[in-house]
Amino acid sequence: MISEESITRFAREVAKYPADQKQSAVMACLTIVQQELGYVSPESEQMVANYLGMSAIAVHEVTSFYNMYNQRPVGKYKLNVCTNLPCQLRDGERAMAHLKEKLGVGNNETTPDGMFTLQQCECLGACADSPVMLVNDTTMCSFMSNDKLDQLIDGLRSAEVKS
């Protein structure tokens, strides 16, 4: 299950809101779950529901409404490439096509070694940095030319080999 450290982070999020509004922390708690476990399982939803005094279905409504929650396991590195219009005008589609070819997967697919999940996504809010890509919901990578995409994928692969 979830670590003590994550439970401590839950408490910090809950403390931001009025005592009778613990539900407000649900998005942050689900994010913390995903950061530790990689995805939000029904068991995790039940655990968060118990922690916040909500029903599990109310938690599931949140998990299923917001695009960034993984409702099933994903690769070790989730890559979200923006292809919305401002990025489309500056090679966002090209970046997506390059990653499909390099990784040998389609949109919403994971490489057989479980390393990478590739997803097209909507506006990341970094339009002037296009092509942009978000790694594991956290690290925004900017100006991703084919060369930089290769460096990133190769670098992450070799880091795996070393560790």
Partner 1 sequence: MNVDQFLARFSTTGAETCFHNRHINPQIYADLNGRNWRLKDYEARGGYQALRKVLGLDGGAGLTQDQVIATVKESSLRGRGGAGFPTGLKWSFMPRQFPGQKYLVCNSDEGEPGTCKDREIMQFNPHIVIEGMIIAAYAMGISVGYNYIHGEIFQTYQRFEEALEEARAAGLLGDKILGSGFSFQLHAAHGFGAYICGEETGLLESLEGKKGQPRFKPPFPASFGLYGKPTTINNTETFAAVPWIIRNGGQAYVECGKPNNGGTKIYSVSGDVELPGNFEVPMGTPFSKLLELAGGVRKGRQLKAVIPGGSSSPVLPAAMMMECTMDYDSIAKAGSMLGSGAVIVLDDSRCMVKSLQRLSYFYMHESCGQCTPCREGTGWLSRVVDRIETGHGKTSDLELLNSVAGDIQGRTICALGDAAAMPVRAMLKHFMPEFEYHVAHKTCMVPAYV
> Could you say whether residue 115 binds partner 1 (CB under 8 A)?
no
> Could you say whether residue 53 binds partner 1 (CB under 8 A)?
no
- Buried b / exposed e across 130-155, counting CB within 10 Å, b at 16+? bbbbbebeeeebeebebeebeebbee
**Local structure of 101: helix, strand or coil:** helix
**Local structure of 146: helix, strand or coil:** helix
> Could you say whether residue 144 binds partner 1 (CB under 8 A)?
yes
Among 71, 107, 123, 150, binds partner 1 (CB under 8 A): 123
Among 100, 140, 146, 157, binds partner 1 (CB under 8 A): 140
What is the smallest separation between the CB atom of 99 and partner 1, expressed in angstroms? Answer: 14
Looking up tokens 């002037």 gives: 128
> Could you say whether residue 56 binds partner 1 (CB under 8 A)?
no
Size of the site for partner 1 (CB under 8 A): 54
Residues 6+ apart with CB under 8 A from 59: 26, 30, 45, 46, 48, 49, 52
Q: Give me the residues that bind partner 1 (CB under 8 A), please.
A: 16-18, 21, 23-28, 30-31, 52, 54, 58, 61-62, 65-69, 83-86, 88-90, 121-130, 134-135, 137-144, 148, 152, 155-156, 159
